[in-house]
Amino acid sequence: MLFTMTTTNADTPTPRRRAPAGAAVLREDVTDAIRAAVFEELAAVGYARMSIEGIARRAGVGKTAVYRRWRSKLHLVLDLVSAIAVQGLPAPDTGSLEGDLRLLYEVTSRALRHPVAGQIIPDLQAEAARNPEIAEAMQKALREGQHGVASGIVRSAAERGEVRDGLDEDLALDLISGPLYWRAVVVRTPLPKGYLARLASATAAGLKAL
- Gap between the Cα atoms of 55 and 42, Å rounded: 9
C-alpha 124, offset from chain centre: 12
| pLDDT given for residue 13 in this prediction | 45
Which amino acid appears at position 69 of this protein? R
E strand or H helix that includes residue 66:
helix 63-67
| pLDDT given for residue 3 in this prediction | 28
| pLDDT given for residue 83 in this prediction | 66
**Residues 74, 134: contact at Cβ < 8 Å?**
yes
| pLDDT given for residue 82 in this prediction | 65
| pLDDT given for residue 196 in this prediction | 95
| pLDDT given for residue 16 in this prediction | 44
| pLDDT given for residue 107 in this prediction | 85
| pLDDT given for residue 6 in this prediction | 35
CB atoms within 10 A of CB 14: 9
Show the low-confidence residues of the chain (pLDDT under 70).
1-24, 82-90, 114-119, 141-145
- Gap between the Cα atoms of 25 and 11, Å rounded: 9
| pLDDT given for residue 5 in this prediction | 33
| pLDDT given for residue 204 in this prediction | 97
pLDDT per residue as tens digits for the range 95-124: 999 999 999 999 888 877 766 666 677 777
At a CB cut-off of 8 Å and minimum separation 6, what does 55 contact?
34, 37, 38, 41, 66, 73, 76
